[in-house]
Amino acid sequence: MTLGLNDLKYKKAGKRRSKRVGRGNASGKGNYSTRGLKGQRARAGGRGGLKLKGLRPRLLQIPKVRGFKSNKPKPAVVNVGDLNKIFKGNEMVTPRALMAKGLVGQIQNGVKILGKGELDKKLTVVDCGFSKSAAEKIKAAGGVIK
């Protein structure tokens, strides 16, 4: 047996008759036709739906963030603990090496090394920015910063 459009049937609850209003008092929906008494919603064309708001009311609803927000590009960030996991001892750490190992995505805005984590390997860091704590940890492990 093939299924065709002519074989499809509605479920009993699937097709509901629309409410027939304004067809006299005998219908049970006469007089005010379920609209109640007076008012905007009782009138033809009343009850406006969702409208596109103008720009000003929309702007007034948006919370304002005070002050100045800089658009200056931010460097990619790497922690000292991540260097300890990825690099072996006596290796050179450069932005390109960090990108090759997957620690940073982009290097055009520079790379900054931060001091979170521990470092117990001697590394040579070249062409990277760093925080004070990161510099101290690199030097304490016997590393060099250029």
Closest to 101 (Cα-Cα) out of 123, 134, 117, 131: 123
Q: Across all residues in the chain, what is the average pLDDT?
A: 88
Does the domain at 76-145 match CATH 3.100.10.10? Answer given as yes
- pLDDT of 115 strictly over 90: yes
pLDDT band at 89 (very low <50, low <70, confident <90, very high): confident
- pLDDT of 122 strictly over 80: yes
In the chain, what is the straight-line distance between the N-terminal and C-terminal CA atoms, in Å? 81
Mapped onto helix, strand or coil, the DSSP state of residue 83 is helix
Quick one: pLDDT at residue 8? 83
- pLDDT of 53 strictly over 70: no
How many angstroms separate the CA atoms of 144 and 146, rounded? 7
* Average pLDDT over every residue of 74-88: 92
- pLDDT of 52 strictly over 80: no
